[in-house]
Amino acid sequence: MSIIKALGRVAFAFTFIFIVQLNITAQQKPTYVLVTMIKTEPGKSGDYEKLINSYGARMFNERIKSGELATWALYSVGMRSDLSDDYDYVSVATSTNIKGLMEPSKGPMEIFKQLMPGATQDMLDAIGPQYNAVRKVVGQMVLINLDGLQPTDRKFYEINYMQTPPGKEDAYVKLEKEIYKPLHKERMASGEITGWGLYAVVYPYSDSRGFNYVTANAFNNWEKMLTSDYSAAFKKAHPKGDMAKVSAETGAARKMSKTETWRLITRMEGK
């Protein structure tokens, strides 16, 4: 891999996407999400963020302008229920154009030459080693957005990784859409969260991964997030519902493999 290509691993890692069967109609244009897990060297997180601001963000902004991407963001990973430290940042790119997401029309070198017309080849060649000295890419996955409530603020995310037993996929998705989406809408109204989304893992898909669905709760207030009253929200969303029954159905349809929090570092989207 060339030096500059090291910068573009977010976009070049996959050339084939296997889409699992997901209840997506022909009229819908699904949103794909490419998540890249990044591990910085000890004490180098500040240097990595500076490089992102100087180079990486500008490159992704050009891809947004070209229409290949809809949004791009970088988050630092905070608390994790599995207590692992195998990655501490995630890069998140979205698009309804799967080809544009996975196969950029321009490589990083071409984009940087365009953005830095006065740069010499030596200056361009020096960018890659700076990245390599402070971080490495440790994993990637492609998700597809199944449903959601548009976030009003993305300062923090609570990311929940779900595993469904074989044959329970439809039951789980139905619970999220029909029971939990209205509940989260009530939580948004009360200011506990600022958004919600439901995603399915589509590639690489493996039984050994430990999760096949992801939910994302956006929030900007730790106090409200930590004191959320699910019971009150459930009663408002489903006045005649049986919370104990729903809890049992949820437990049978999925297990929560892990939870982690993300803090927004930088984000951009098309106009």
Neighbours of 107 (CB within 10 A): 17
Q: What is the pLDDT of residue 26?
A: 41
Percent of the chain scored above 90 by pLDDT?
74
Spans in the chain with pLDDT lower than 50 = 1-27
SS3 266: strand
Pick 150-261's CATH classification: 2.40.50.180, 3.30.70.100, 3.40.1260.20, 3.10.310.10: 3.30.70.100
0.85 surpassed by pTM: yes
DSSP assignment, residue 105?
A: S
Q: Please say whether the structural domain 4-142 has been given the CATH code 3.30.460.10.
A: no
The percentage of residues in the chain with a pLDDT greater than 70, rounded to a whole number, is 90
In this predicted structure, what is the pLDDT of residue 13? 33
Beta carbons within 8 Å of 134's beta carbon, 6+ residues apart: 40, 41, 44, 47, 48, 51
- Give DSSP secondary structure letters for 123-140: HHHTHHHHHHTTEEEEEE
Tell me the per-residue pLDDT of 149-181, one tens digit each, with 9 for 90 and over. Answer: 999 999 999 999 999 999 999 999 999 999 999
Give residue limits of the domains in the chain. Answer: 4-142, 150-261
Q: Coil, helix or strand for 203? A: strand
Fold identical between 4-142 and 150-261?
A: yes
With residues binned 3-state (H G I as helix, E B as strand, rest as coil), the percentages for the chain, rounded to 5, are: 35, 30, 35
- How do residues 105-144 score in pLDDT, each as one tens digit? 888 878 888 888 888 888 888 888 999 999 999 999 999 9
Q: Which of 263, 261, 253, 182 is nearest to 212 (CA)?
A: 253
Tokens for 1?
Answer: 């891999």
